[in-house]
Structure 1
Amino acid sequence: MIGSPSLALVLAALALAYLLGSVPFAVVVSRLMGLKDPRSYGSGNPGATNVLRTGNKTAAALTLAGDAAKGWLAVWAAQRWAPELGFSSATIALVAVAVFLGHLYPVFLRFKGGKGVATALGVLLALQPWLALATAATWLLVAFFLRYSSLAALVAALFAPVYYVFGSGVAWYASRPIGVAIGAISLLLIYRHRANISRLLAGTESRIGGKGKK
C-alpha cells in the first residue's frame, strides 16, 4: 500500500478511463457484422437502441454488452487497484465520470458519441450492484409499459441518485464523492436526451423496435 497518489497517476487513470469509454462499440460491432454505420440511420445515435432498428438483435445485444462492460471495467479497475495506488473514493468517482464522458464525447468519433445509458449502467454495476439492479428495473418497467427507450432512460436517470441516497444504511453505505458522481452522470444523461425530451413532448418520439428515419 502507498500513500496519496501523485497528480500524474490520477490524471493517467482518468485518461485511460476516458479512452476506454471512447471505444464506440455500436460502430465496431456494426462493421464486424456487415451492418450500416448506426450514425447513418434512425436517430443517428451510436448506441444499442439505434442498432436494434436494423432488426439485428444480436448486434444490439453485443453493443449493449460492450458499452456496459467498458463502464464497469474502468470503475472496477480503479476500485481493484485503489489500495495499491492510494486512490480515494473521490478518484474512483472521477474515473466513473471520465469513462462516461468518453462514451458521450469519444475522441475516436470526433467527440460525437451516444447517450450513455448502457455505460452508465456498467458504472453503477461496478459502484454498487444492487443500485444498478434497481435502476435497470426502473428502466425495464417504463420501457415495457410505455415502449419509449428515451423516457425509460430519463426516469431511471432521475431515480438513480435518489436510490443511492435513500438506500444508504439499508442496502449499502453511501459515499459523498460517489453520490456526486452518480448525480453528475444522471444530469449528463438527461442533457444528452434533450432532443428526445422535445420529441416526447411533441409526440413524435420513436418507440422501441421502430425504424425511424434519420
Structure 2
Amino acid sequence: MTLLPLLLAAYALGSIPFAIVSSRLFGLADPRKYGSGNPGATNVLRSGNKTAALVTLVGDCLKGWLAVWAAARLGFSPLEAALAGLAAFLGHVFSVFLRFNGGKGVATALGVLAGINGWIAFVALSVWLAVAFLTRYSSVAALSAAAAAPIAGLVLLGPDPIVVVLVIVAAVLVWRHTANIRKLLSGTESKIGGRRA
C-alpha cells in the first residue's frame, strides 16, 4: 500500500461517527439536536446515558489509535503513521458520513497521540483530567491538553517532523473550540455533566 490509499483509509475510519452510532444503539436522540450539538462523548453524556457516552469515547479514541497502529504494522515510517493518525483525526472533524461536519476531535486526538507515543498521550490526558476536575469545563480541559501535546512531543521526540503533526492537531482542536471560547468569555459555557448552560 502506498501513502495516499493509507491516508484515505484512515480518513474513512476517522469519519465513523461513534456518537451517532452509540446514540442509535441506546435509543437516544441524535446528539446534534441537543446540548452543544456536537457529535462527541461530552455531548452524549448530556443525554444522561453514561454508557452511551463511554462507548462514544472509546470508539472515537480507538479509531485514532488504530489508524496509527495499522500504518506502523503495514511498514510505514513513524512520520507516515502519524500522518495516518492526522487523517483519521480530520475524518472525525470533517466526517464524510456527516456531510463533512463532525465532532471536535478531542477523543480521536487522544487516540492518535497514544498511537504515536504513549507518554505524549499520558501527558495530554493528565492535563485534561486535572483541568476538567478543577474547572468542570470540558472545553478548557481540551484546550489545555491541546496546548500540552506539542510541548510534550518536543520534549520527548526532539525536533522531529512528527511534532508538526501534533501542532496541526492542536491548532484544529483550538479552532473547533472557537464557539466554546466565546461562551467561556460570556459565562454561558456548559459544564461537564450539565444538560445546558
Task: Specify if TM > 0.5.
Answer: yes
Q: Is the Cα–Cα contact under 8 Å of residues 154 and 160 in structure 2 kept in the other structure?
A: no
Among 64, 74, 89, the alignment partner of 1:71 is: 64
Q: 2:19 matched to which residue of 1?
A: 26
Q: 1:179 matched to which residue of 2?
A: 163
Segments of 4+ moved more than 4 angstroms: none
* Per-residue CA distance 1:76-109 (angstroms, 9 max, x = gap): 1111222xxxx23332232121111000000001
Structure 1 counterpart SS, 2:20:
helix
Query: What amino acid does structure 2 have at the position aligned with 1:201?
Result: L
Q: 2:36 matched to which residue of 1?
A: 43
Q: 2:80 matched to which residue of 1?
A: 91
Q: Distance in 2 between matches of 1:94 and 1:72?
A: 12
Superposed CA RMSD: 1.2
Q: Is the Cα–Cα contact under 8 Å of residues 89 and 175 in structure 1 kept in the other structure?
A: no
Matched, 1:145 2:138: no
Query: What amino acid does structure 1 have at the position aligned with 2:73?
Result: R
Among 113, 117, 120, the alignment partner of 1:128 is: 117
For the pair shown, the structure with the greater C-alpha radius of gyration is 1
Q: Mean Cα displacement is larger for which, 92-101 or 191-200?
A: 92-101
Q: Distance in 2 between matches of 1:210 and 1:90?
A: 39
Among 170, 182, 185, the alignment partner of 1:201 is: 185
Q: Distance in 2 between matches of 1:174 and 1:21?
A: 28
Q: 1:101 matched to which residue of 2?
A: 90
Q: Is the Cα–Cα contact under 8 Å of residues 23 and 108 in structure 1 kept in the other structure?
A: yes
Q: Is the Cα–Cα contact under 8 Å of residues 89 and 177 in structure 1 kept in the other structure?
A: no
User: How many residues align structurally?
Assistant: 197
Q: Is the Cα–Cα contact under 8 Å of residues 123 and 148 in structure 2 kept in the other structure?
A: no
- Normalising by structure 1, we get a TM-score of 0.89
Q: Is the Cα–Cα contact under 8 Å of residues 93 and 177 in structure 1 kept in the other structure?
A: no
Structure 2 counterpart SS, 1:54:
coil
Report percent identity of matched pairs: 58
Q: Is the Cα–Cα contact under 8 Å of residues 93 and 103 in structure 2 kept in the other structure?
A: yes
Using CA pairs under 8 Å that are at least 6 residues apart, name the structure with larger relative contact order, 1 or 2.
Answer: 1
Q: 2:74 matched to which residue of 1?
A: 81
Query: What amino acid does structure 1 have at the position aligned with 2:10?
Result: A
Q: Distance in 1 between matches of 2:62 and 2:81?
A: 16
Gap regions ≥5 residues in structure 2: none
Q: Distance in 2 between matches of 1:181 and 1:46?
A: 24
Matched, 1:165 2:154: yes
Q: 1:155 matched to which residue of 2?
A: 144
Gap regions ≥5 residues in structure 1: none
